[in-house]
């Protein structure tokens, strides 16, 4: 909006091979309209030069406490920031930040910042798993710093494991969320196990064709990403999702509604919450052709359909006391009612704790970066979520889930609203 102050972001870059990926993160943040000042460490400049950061940010690059000393940059940058992001954060940087050291400009900024701080580590798996690093991460998290778990994948050389920098687009997604809502990523799901389904199932017609839907998996992955950032142990059951795995999330891939049902029901055992964000097919071809159905001059073949299993209804019927079950409903209006009326009817029939209702069509909900919804609760309350990034909707959903979770020390606590004894 014209005249509106741009958010001020400090992007700290420490000296790991993943420093080159921070250039992509910088572009994501600047293209979102934010004013970004890059503060690289001396070792980071061995991987990516100062000129690159200046060109991509359009701002002067601050490298040490002595440059422009009359402006006191070590105080001014941190105190004036709306958000500080450190990506990549090496084991050394985590240790210095946890112990309050201020031996370079970046650690000075971290000490003077009074805004949200988002840290994305990257290092070899052995370094991430070392007790010293784990203790430093725990210390930072206890002070309110959002520290992401690294992604799993290829590291330097032939090594593979947990230590990759999370996808820059995911870091940017969480950065935008913190700028919009600084309280969006508390550690309120620490110690919880949650299952999130994502994407759209495909029901085979023949070896080439299938019945599917337009779900990209973005909303489900946003839910998984935000839950992991809030401390949960997250399993994502992904149906045909082509996106990078969310950082810190265990991903299990499925194709059809039957496969999604089997994996989700198995993973739900012992989970504190299950969020069914995937678009699961309601019907599938009753007969799958063994070979490709050929085009012919005659009339096209008829396709007989049969219903798929109702996974959400099964999870609700089989849930244990205290488990929160969340459904999603993609609705349109028709002669029998508008989209929200259909959502309310679905909540009444499904009896889930929460139902997230999307008004779909005309570029809404599917295959887009933003979403709007009304979250219906079994107790009759309704929460409207305005159009915005899918991570923002995810944060609201987890707010509502966290409020309904039983205390961890009360396994026999009373059932949540809308829950029945089974």
The residues assigned a catalytic role are: 213
Please report how many Cα atoms fall inside a 13 Å half-sphere around the Cα of residue 316, on the Cβ side. Answer: 21
Please report how many Cα atoms fall inside a 13 Å half-sphere around the Cα of residue 387, on the Cβ side. Answer: 8
What residues have CB less than 8 Å from 295, skipping those under 6 apart? none
User: Which ranges of 113-256 does DSSP label H, i.e. alpha helix?
Assistant: 125-129, 131-142, 168-180, 218-229
The count of residues in the chain is 422
80 Rama sector, left if φ>0, alpha if ψ -120 to 50, beta otherwise = alpha
C-alpha to C-alpha distance for 176 and 390, rounded to whole angstroms: 11
Q: Which residue, chain included where needed, has tokens 């959002």? A: 146
Q: Within its chain, how far is the Cα of 216 from the centroid?
A: 14
Of 368, 371, 366, whose CA–CA distance to 388 is shortest? Answer: 371
Sign of CA dihedral 49, 174, 248, 118: positive
User: Which ranges of 38-113 does DSSP label H, i.e. alpha helix?
Assistant: 50-57, 73-80, 91-98, 105-112
68 Rama sector, left if φ>0, alpha if ψ -120 to 50, beta otherwise = left
- Is 112 in contact with 153 (CB distance < 8 Å)? no
Please report how many Cα atoms fall inside a 13 Å half-sphere around the Cα of residue 402, on the Cβ side. Answer: 19
The answer, yes or no, to whether the previous bond of 88 is cis (omega within 30 of 0) is yes
């Amino acid at each position: 909006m014209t005249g509106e102050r741009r958010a001020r972001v400090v992007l700290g870059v420490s000296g790991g091979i993943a420093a080159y990926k921070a250039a992509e993160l910088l572009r994501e943040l600047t293209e979102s309209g934010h004013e970004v000042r890059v503060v690289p460490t001396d070792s980071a400049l061995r991987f990516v030069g100062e000129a690159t950061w200046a060109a991509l940010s359009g701002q002067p690059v601050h490298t040490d406490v002595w440059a422009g000393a009359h402006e006191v940059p070590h105080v001014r940058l941190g105190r004036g920031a709306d958000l500080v992001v450190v990506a990549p954060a090496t084991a050394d940087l985590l240790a210095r930040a946890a112990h309050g050291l201020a031996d370079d400009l970046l650690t000075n900024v971290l000490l003077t910042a009074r805004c949200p701080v988002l840290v994305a580590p990257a290092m070899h798996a052995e370094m991430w798993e070392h007790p010293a690093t784990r203790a430093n991460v725990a210390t930072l998290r206890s002070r309110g710093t959002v520290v992401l778990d690294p992604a799993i994948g290829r590291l330097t050389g032939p090594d593979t494991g947990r230590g990759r920098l999370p996808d820059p687009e995911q870091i940017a997604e969480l950065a935008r969320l913190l700028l919009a809502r600084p309280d969006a990523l508390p550690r309120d799901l620490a110690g919880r196990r949650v299952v999130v389904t994502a994407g759209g199932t495909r029901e085979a017609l023949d070896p080439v064709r299938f019945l599917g839907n337009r779900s990209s998996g973005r909303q489900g992955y946003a839910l998984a990403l935000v839950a992991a950032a809030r401390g949960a142990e997250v399993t994502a059951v992904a149906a045909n999702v082509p996106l990078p795995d969310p950082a810190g999330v265990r991903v299990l891939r499925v194709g059809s509604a039957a496969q999604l049902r089997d994996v989700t029901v198995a993973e739900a055992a012992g989970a504190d919450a299950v969020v069914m964000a995937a678009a699961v097919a309601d019907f599938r071809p009753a007969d799958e052709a063994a070979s490709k159905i050929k085009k012919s001059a005659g009339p096209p073949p008829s396709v007989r359909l049969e219903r798929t299993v109702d996974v959400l209804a099964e999870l609700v019927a089989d849930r244990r006391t205290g488990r929160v079950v969340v459904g999603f409903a993609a609705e349109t209006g028709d002669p029998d009612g508008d989209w929200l009326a259909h959502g309310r009817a679905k909540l009444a029939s499904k009896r889930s704790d929460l139902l997230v209702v999307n008004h779909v069509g005309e570029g809404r909900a599917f295959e887009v970066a933003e979403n709007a919804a009304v979250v219906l609760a079994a107790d009759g309350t309704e929460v409207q979520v305005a159009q915005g990034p899918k991570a923002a909707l995810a944060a609201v959903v987890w707010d509502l889930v966290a409020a309904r979770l039983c205390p961890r020390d009360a396994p026999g606590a009373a059932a949540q609203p809308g829950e029945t004894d089974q």
